[in-house]
Structure 1
Amino acid sequence: MNTPIRRLAYVVLAMFTALLLASTWIQFVQADDLRERPNNRRTLIDTYSRERGAILVDGDAVARSVATDDDLEWERRYDQATRYAHVTGYWSFIYGAGLGLERARNGVLAGTDDSLFYQRLVDVVTGRPPQGASLELTIDPQVQAAAAEALGDRRGAAVAIDPATGAILAMVSRPAFDPNALSSHQLNAVEQAYEELSQDPSRPLVNRALAGDLYPPGSTFKLVVAAAALESGEFTPDSELEGGLTYTLPGTTTDLPNFGGAACHPEGTPSLARSVQVSCNTSFAWLAGELGADALREQAEEFGFGQTLQVPMTATPSTYPEDPDDAQTALTGIGQHEVRVTPLQVAMISAGIANDGVVMEPYLVDTVRNRDLEVAEQTDPRALSRAVSGATAQELTDMMVSVVEQGSGQLAAVPGVSVAGKTGTAEFGDSGAAHAWFTGFAPADDPQIAVAVVVESATDNWTGETGGRVAAPIAQAMLEAGVSP
């Protein structure tokens, strides 16, 4: 064999080897990933030949499949559609599994997940048509209804958590959308509905409870600062802080005022407990400087900042700035500068304080059941971290109770129940607009539910949407619905 022919043979051999490796990689290594892609039309057509599993809240289906007479044998239907839109997501022939649990647990609902292997094997042997598994959620329908109704048409989000387990009791994002408009078999109408939703400037397809543009937490972050102070061992609830009418940001000539220009203490030295109760900006800006950015960041991380959580939908990590200067560190003490959070994260702060200082990993799916109602998967509560000691948690609880009983959170009070809470009003942008916050838990002495509510300012200029006025009443409705009589 002469040299040119030998070289050609090597090239052909290399090409066949590459082809063999590529086909092996696609068929074996990438097979599951390619099959599970939501926009895989061949997979979509196949899944429409089987009944997709239901999504259940307290035994009632909020998402289910119904038989049809058209070529696509099953159609997805959503009950109480807008109330649960961001929990369920949608299942569309054109757009596949979109948002929520429809996307996050697509394999289970479609019946293709590895956990359902033996069910699929039995179906093949018995000749039964394949069927997806159902999801039993942790949502409390009464708390979910209270959150949805109280939030109404205002933009924002509300989250409730069981502090002892991390089970998500409510998750509402506004504005919402109707998943039925995207799951219909009228494909032209589906395309039009999706186009309108995608171009809507209010972004109804974004789950504000977990993702999207994160929010400045405002004064709700003072709970993290107070926790860091108490954990440092250098401060107690009775420690006097520097808190005059204004605080000059270090290295600048900029004065930071208290909300409404009020004094936190006649002599400008409010205690830590008093500073939490009246949400004193000047004392917390000073305290942040005393503690330092590293201590505040570490405390925030103990509450879950920086972690990508799967609930099973992916929650965007909340953030504390990496390298703030002294003036910026002071601003982080009041939840401003580049501190950014999800409502889920703020609920986790309250839940951790309520749970004796232990933050539980949040989750939305309690049980997965196959078609024979056998348990295929069960979520066991897991601790995420110990954010603070039990003693610190109790001191923070006492401060938060005073916020609701005598401070800015009085509209969150539930008759006959001790409520712990914290308000927040978080400025954003350059126009002075602000978001309204409330977070807390109840009963304070035997916590059953922790909540976080954010109401976005819908105006260019702030028009009085304080956390105590706007967010606290929404939280009150949720807390009242979630507390057992």
Structure 2
Amino acid sequence: MRAVATQRARRMNAPLGRVAVACEVMLLALLVNTTYIQAFRADRLAGDPRNRRGMIERFDGPRGDIVLRDETVIATSRRSGDRTYRYRRVYPRGPLYAPVTGYLSLYGSSGIEAAEDPALSGSDPEVRVRSLMDGIRSGATLKLTLDDRAQRAAYRALRATGRPGAVVAINPNTGAILAMASYPSYDPNLYATFDAAVLDAADRRLQRAPGRPLLNRAIQRTYPPGSAFKVVTTAAALSSERYGPATAVSAPAAFRLPGTRVRVRNSGGAACGDGHPSLAYAFKVSCNTPFAKIGLDLGQNALREQAEAFGFGAADLAVPMPVAMSVYPERMNRAQTAMSALGQFDTRATPLMIAMFSAAIAGNGELMRPYLVEEVRLADGTVIGNAQPSRYRRVLSADEADRLTAMMIAVTRPGGTGTAAAIPGIDVAAKTGTAENAASREDHAIFTGFAPADAPRVAVGVVVEHGGFGGEVAAPIARAVMRAVLPSPGRGERNGPGE
């Protein structure tokens, strides 16, 4: 009987054993899948637009403020009165700062709101830990480098032209961005609604609006820099040691591009000076034929090396929003090389890069890395992050920068193309540009410059789409921005930008 019972127990235990093994396998699979989701798919699931819980959590507590260097608030959170979404984002300065702040909506974000989301939302580990320790649930406040006077001057001057464009102003000593204006702009408060239908309608309207107001032209769009690129060509010429400011250059009224029937002409179709002026004079009045010839003499490799020293071809630039890459073309023939030396053919630069032309010269040949965020601090005022200015590029030697500065000062003196940027009592160094636009017969107006030339505090880049002559349209905009930054009689001395 005992043997029969043993056999019966074995027959019963076999199925139970298989069930137990199956349970262990399923439990193990459950644990593995849970671990995989938590470790590798948590961020993806949290960001899934179908995940309503994530949207609710995003607006459940106050987000950190975005403020200017003078503590003016340009983005903040306020109680919404909505039971589901307790806080809504508010942008007190609307279109003026929209290209920088971007927006935060139910379905997405842009600008600083997107680039610095971990700090602003409080999801950054350091912000979260410090907030928990203090018992305050809130994101960190971001203090930007922007100067309100400079930003207002830039935006108003752009708006007055009635044409799309962008302005960037930089403190060449630190890299702090003092102004970043783009026109046309939009009101980011339109994206702060919790009504999905209203939000969708506003987004569709702005996406289709003429002038593409959602585009931050300062960093998201590239343009042919035109004669402003002669700063780069001249830097390459000086670095070659074959040219100096007093070197006589060949400057006929017209020059036929090698292998083509196309002729490059100077503005007005006249010869430059006596046909053999100095490099400094050709730069001052922005002659085309001598710079086309200099480009051929130096060759595309030397021009490309100099352009890359300024930051062309670099994909690592973020301010912290990513910046479109400025491009100097590859594998050109001689005709294309000549045109590239004039900032044409396929040469493309962002307005930020055009400001960086002058920032590098103003910095004695050293270009500082541009940045927008000066300080990160918690709700209780504790600072947990400060900007650390750093060198981005060594562009040219200090001696070469000094000689190029003298040439740029002459541009704003009588007889130069940039007199509209002159400021009484202050030496302004500049280069104007009128860039041919393949998509239209209307040229872009370009300007790059800095002031004061002997103790630089601000470098500016301006692009006005279809604006015409840079010396007539872009130069006055730059002057307005520089005057907003620099101290003037009756306003008193101000702290240096970015300090």
Q: TM-score, normalised by structure 1?
A: 0.91
> Which residue identity is paired with 1:47?
R
**Mapped contact 1:346–1:452 kept (Cα < 8 A):** yes
Determine whether 1:437 maps to 2:446.
yes
What corresponds to 2:260 in structure 1? 252
Say if 1:55 and 1:289 are closer, same or farther in 2 by CA, change over 3 A.
same
> Which residue identity is paired with 1:243?
A
1:384 to 373, 388, 392: 392
Deviation at 1:275?
Answer: 1.3
CA RMSD, Structure 1 to Structure 2 (Å)? 2.1
Deviation at 1:433?
Answer: 2.1
2:480 to 471, 477, 481: 477
What corresponds to 1:87 in structure 2? 100
What corresponds to 1:8 in structure 2? none
- 1:391-420 residue CA offsets vs partner (Å, 9 max, x unmatched): 011111101100011301000011211100
1:73 to 75, 86, 105: 86
Q: Identity rate of aligned residues, in percent?
A: 47
Deviation at 1:15?
Answer: 10
Q: Which has the larger radius of gyration?
A: 2
What corresponds to 1:143 in structure 2? 150
**Mapped contact 1:166–1:361 kept (Cα < 8 A):** yes
Determine whether 1:369 maps to 2:377.
yes
1:133 to 134, 137, 140: 140
> Which residue identity is paired with 1:173?
S
- 1:12-49 residue CA offsets vs partner (Å, 9 max, x unmatched): 99999887666534311343465467886432210211
- 1:211-253 residue CA offsets vs partner (Å, 9 max, x unmatched): 13x1000000000000000011111111111210011101112
What corresponds to 2:200 in structure 1? 191
Where in structure 1 are there 5+ consecutive unaligned residues?
1-10, 458-463
> Which residue identity is paired with 2:108?
G
Determine whether 1:396 maps to 2:404.
yes
**Mapped contact 2:285–2:411 kept (Cα < 8 A):** yes
What corresponds to 2:175 in structure 1? 166
Determine whether 1:423 maps to 2:426.
no
Determine whether 1:468 maps to 2:471.
yes
In the alignment, the residues of structure 1 paired with residue 257 and residue 38 of structure 2 have an alpha-carbon distance, to the nearest angstrom, of: 61
- 1:77-118 residue CA offsets vs partner (Å, 9 max, x unmatched): 11121100011000112x222x21011101111111123132
What corresponds to 1:3 in structure 2? none
What corresponds to 1:340 in structure 2? 348
Partner secondary structure for residue 314 of structure 1? coil
Say if 1:32 and 1:378 are closer, same or farther in 2 by CA, change over 3 A.
farther
> Which residue identity is paired with 2:151?
Q
Partner secondary structure for residue 210 of structure 1? helix
What corresponds to 1:115 in structure 2? 126
- 1:149-185 residue CA offsets vs partner (Å, 9 max, x unmatched): 1111420000000000000000001110000011123
Partner secondary structure for residue 91 of structure 1? coil
In the alignment, the residues of structure 2 paired with residue 311 and residue 12 of structure 1 have an alpha-carbon distance, to the nearest angstrom, of: 53
> Which residue identity is paired with 1:411?
A
In the alignment, the residues of structure 2 paired with residue 19 and residue 279 of structure 1 have an alpha-carbon distance, to the nearest angstrom, of: 72
Determine whether 1:275 maps to 2:278.
no
**Mapped contact 2:115–2:321 kept (Cα < 8 A):** yes
In the alignment, the residues of structure 2 paired with residue 349 and residue 381 of structure 1 have an alpha-carbon distance, to the nearest angstrom, of: 18
> Which residue identity is paired with 1:317?
M
In the alignment, the residues of structure 2 paired with residue 244 and residue 39 of structure 1 have an alpha-carbon distance, to the nearest angstrom, of: 66
In the alignment, the residues of structure 2 paired with residue 26 and residue 257 of structure 1 have an alpha-carbon distance, to the nearest angstrom, of: 65
**Mapped contact 2:451–2:482 kept (Cα < 8 A):** yes
Partner secondary structure for residue 412 of structure 2? helix
What corresponds to 1:461 in structure 2? none
> Which residue identity is paired with 1:45?
I
Deviation at 1:200?
Answer: 1.8
Say if 1:167 and 1:16 are closer, same or farther in 2 by CA, change over 3 A.
same
What corresponds to 1:4 in structure 2? none
In the alignment, the residues of structure 2 paired with residue 168 and residue 89 of structure 1 have an alpha-carbon distance, to the nearest angstrom, of: 16
2:302 to 295, 300, 303: 295
In the alignment, the residues of structure 2 paired with residue 352 and residue 40 of structure 1 have an alpha-carbon distance, to the nearest angstrom, of: 47
Say if 1:117 and 1:65 are closer, same or farther in 2 by CA, change over 3 A.
closer
In the alignment, the residues of structure 2 paired with residue 216 and residue 242 of structure 1 have an alpha-carbon distance, to the nearest angstrom, of: 25
1:181 to 173, 182, 190: 190
Where in structure 2 are there 5+ consecutive unaligned residues?
1-21, 489-499
**Mapped contact 2:313–2:326 kept (Cα < 8 A):** yes
In the alignment, the residues of structure 1 paired with residue 116 and residue 377 of structure 2 have an alpha-carbon distance, to the nearest angstrom, of: 13
* Aligned residues between the structures: 462
Deviation at 1:132?
Answer: 0.7
What corresponds to 2:9 in structure 1? none
- 232-241 or 114-123: which moved more? 114-123
Determine whether 1:53 maps to 2:64.
yes
> Which residue identity is paired with 1:274?
Y
**Mapped contact 2:90–2:189 kept (Cα < 8 A):** yes
Say if 1:328 and 1:449 are closer, same or farther in 2 by CA, change over 3 A.
same
In the alignment, the residues of structure 2 paired with residue 302 and residue 292 of structure 1 have an alpha-carbon distance, to the nearest angstrom, of: 16
Q: How does 1:21-36 map to 2 (within 5 A)?
A: 23-32=34-43, 34-35=45-46
**Mapped contact 1:38–1:103 kept (Cα < 8 A):** no
- 1:126-154 residue CA offsets vs partner (Å, 9 max, x unmatched): 4x4x1111100000100001001111142
Say if 1:350 and 1:62 are closer, same or farther in 2 by CA, change over 3 A.
same
Partner secondary structure for residue 324 of structure 1? coil
In the alignment, the residues of structure 1 paired with residue 440 and residue 465 of structure 2 have an alpha-carbon distance, to the nearest angstrom, of: 14
**Mapped contact 2:442–2:468 kept (Cα < 8 A):** no
- 40-49 or 142-151: which moved more? 40-49
1:319 to 314, 323, 327: 327
